[in-house]
A and B are shown apart, each in its own frame.
Chain A
């Protein structure tokens, strides 16, 4: 059996990332402890290599491996976003892993393996490849979540993530098997044809769809499948939390949108109401429970749940039964825009949290930010911008993301949904701005103990600079990204 060269070229970025991951894992035992940083640079180099390849592939829709994966601007957009997120996570990890004394080479290997799974997810058009990509992503993340293996909290997070993650994968797989039973194939195009033949009321189809919603719901962490998120985000090492909160959510949304529009688009009338309920429940619970959190990682976990709810608005818009093409693509492109913006602000916020050290430990309570503005004004200001952006206040990128989503909702005749979302955005401002208030308006009681301080490093500065540049530039001049997402979404069938 020979593989056509064009197929190999189509998955070249994935091959490069997997090869780099294997190289990192192979070189790790023969790299002295003081030189582990080289492995990080190697991983980063492989990502930099992938960027021009993916940009050059951005043209038209090309399918490879007899329709197992597809290369279209939609997939390439997510891939580029994933490179950026992974690259920033690697830079963020450099100093963090040293400070936590878990500076091990395999960290970067697992990160790259997880990334390759995500890349497969977003470009797959067959449920087989989507499942394999999801599992590759999740298995690596289970390991990464327990990376502080001498700390009970991290292990507990890892075990919880593993149990609930594989439970959800089992449900997802059962849904896939039922879809196979209905369509006789796992290709999304064949499933779409079967859906068109069988109609809306086929019980096997509806059951399979519900199981798929549950499986993907766990991965993107929407209510009521969100229970694992706060625990895992709190227990995992902060750099891994940042990666999970951004990259895995972005990739899962990419696959989720493709499966439900390309494959199950004919069942819109069935899943529209389901998504609407899930979306509202996510907005309410995510934003309300975040208010009472005292741990900042836990608060950001609930905030990430809430943001998944905002992104779902775009999918609800696209799923409205009587939408025209333009409204549908506006909904989907605003999902892509929102997640790109979310990536910058959430990574930035987690980078600040990872930098805050209290003695030899992490300062991850909101209390630890007390009076930070007096001691470290720059760090406090960065956190201020990220919090303002997460709350969606202009002129930051968070506002632009929400604006396009709500605009799409209003154009689709869902103004009431936009109103609910705006109300809960106002609720979210309360807990985001509480962090700002603690930093700027309270003085630290020095006698209470060690003052938390920021451990800055050149790589961390680069991460923060990228994140803040993304938040500010996208907030002031979002046009290039908007036109990119609008054109990318058109290739989605």
Chain B
């Protein structure tokens, strides 16, 4: 069983090494643009939060791809920090959204009109 996992892992690694760098960069660009468009057009604040997470994960794809390309661990270290920051951001963001929902009974950004947007 262990051998099988190891074999699969080694196989995936070889496949990953065969994929050219530009594919990863294009994938990350698509994910990033999806995130940006999501933030701009969706009205539900939870979906907006998820779109922001997409943007951050697009960045992580970039970092890991470049890191493997340069044979340089700095990019992977950066990914760990970025993930930690993203987790902290979600924690703060969801707390704010809950507090907002308690006072407004809504999570639609169009209804947050007290301050001129």
Contact = CB atoms under 8 A, between A and B. Distances in A.
A235 B115 contact: yes
Interface string A118-155: 00000000001001100100010011001001101101
A162 interface: yes
A142 B100 CA distance: 13
B52 A170 contact: yes
Interface stretch (A180-188, A273-281, A388-396): A180-188
Interface string B37-73: 0010000010011001001101100110110011010
A180 B66 contact: yes
A128 B32 CA distance: 20
B48 to A, nearest CB: 6
Contacts of B66: 177, 180-181, 184
A142 B85 contact: no
B1 interface: no
A135 B87 CA distance: 12
A163 interface: yes
Contacts of B63: 177, 180
Interface in A220-256: 227, 230-231, 234-235
Interface of A is mostly: helix
Most chain B C-beta atoms within 10 Å of own C-beta, residue among A135, A146, A157, A166: A166
Most chain B C-beta atoms within 10 Å of own C-beta, residue among A150, A166, A170: A170
Contact of B115 (A146, A160, A173, A185): A160
Contacts of B93: 142, 162, 166
Contacts of A180: 62-63, 66, 74-75, 78
A7 interface: no
A155 B99 contact: yes
Nearest to B72: A184
A178 interface: yes
A214 to B, nearest CB: 11
Contacts of B85: 131-132, 135
A185 B100 contact: no
A146 B78 contact: no
A135 B116 CA distance: 26
A167 interface: yes
A235 B114 contact: yes
B96 A162 contact: yes
A155 B96 contact: yes
B88 A185 contact: no
Contacts of B39: 163, 167
B92 interface: yes
Contacts of A132: 81, 85
Which range holds the interface residue count of chain B? 35 or more
A295 B58 CA distance: 40
Nearest to B95: A143
Nearest to B90: A166
Contact of A174 (B55, B69, B72, B77): B55
A174 B114 contact: no
B9 interface: no
Given A156-B112, A230-B116, A186 B89 contact: no
B42 to A, nearest CB: 11
B74 to A, nearest CB: 6
A257 interface: no
Interface string B93-117: 1011101100110000100101111
B99 A160 contact: no
B74 A166 contact: no
A451 interface: no
Contact of B88 (A139, A159, A160, A163): A139
Which 6 pairs between the two chains have the least Cβ-Cβ distance?
A170-B55, A177-B62, A231-B115, A181-B66, A184-B70, A173-B59
Interface of B: 25, 28, 32, 35-36, 39, 45, 48-49, 52, 55-56, 58-59, 62-63, 65-66, 69-70, 72, 74-75, 77-78, 81-82, 85, 88-89, 92-93, 95-97, 99-100, 103-104, 109, 112, 114-117
23 contacts: A139-B89, A142-B92, A146-B96, A146-B99, A150-B103, A152-B104, A155-B103, A156-B115, A159-B112, A162-B93, A163-B45, A163-B49, A166-B52, A170-B52, A171-B36, A173-B56, A174-B32, A174-B55, A174-B58, A176-B78, A177-B78, A227-B117, A234-B115
Given A156-B100, A186-B74, 11 more contacts: A131-B82, A153-B115, A155-B100, A158-B99, A159-B112, A163-B48, A170-B59, A173-B56, A173-B82, A174-B62, A177-B28
